[in-house]
Amino acid sequence: MDDDLLRRTTDAAGAAKDDGGAGRGKAYFEWALASFYIAYIAFEWMSLLWSRVPAHVYVASLVLSWGVVASLQAVATSYPVLIALRFLLGVGEAGFTGIPIYLSFFFRREELALRTAIFISGKA
């Protein structure tokens, strides 16, 4: 088993060095990042759903979809699949921008800024 692990590790390290030039690897990484942000910006309107959809349904669907898509990135078999998963991850993450709307249901205006700051600091 250890020999197999050693072989796979060295094969992966060799493949990482021989990616056809640093430019292609960098461009692949940039597109993976860009696909996430394109979806994130395009689907930010989903934050309005916090006031329309019951919270227990919306939060559960957001968290479940985000977790499944984030986990599926580990088993992406090709670059186009990874790009599609990154796009879907951006869609799932865009729904979380409405947290201040959701928190405004529970806290007064004077308390909302502090509670939102606590949420954002915990997210980083």
**Alpha-carbon Rg of the chain, whole angstroms?**
20
Does 22 have pLDDT greater than 60?
A: no
The least confident of 4-8, 63-67, 96-100 is: 4-8
pLDDT at residue 4, as a whole number:
63
pLDDT at residue 59, as a whole number:
87
pLDDT in tens, 27-80: 888 888 899 999 999 999 988 888 888 988 998 999 899 999 999 999 998 899
Structural domain for 109, as ranges:
2-123
The total domain count for the chain is 1
Percent of the chain with pLDDT over 70: 79
Query: What region, left, alpha or beta, does residue 107 occupy, with left being phi > 0 and alpha being psi -120 to 50 degrees?
Result: beta
pLDDT at residue 61, as a whole number:
92
| 8 A C-beta contact, residue 111 and residue 61 | no
Report if pTM > 0.85: no
DSSP state of 78: S
pLDDT in tens, 23-39: 567 788 888 889 999 99
The least confident of 3-12, 20-29, 65-74, 91-100 is: 3-12
Dist. CA 56–CA 52, nearest whole Å: 12
Q: What's the number of CA atoms in the CB half-sphere (13 Å) around residue 36?
A: 13
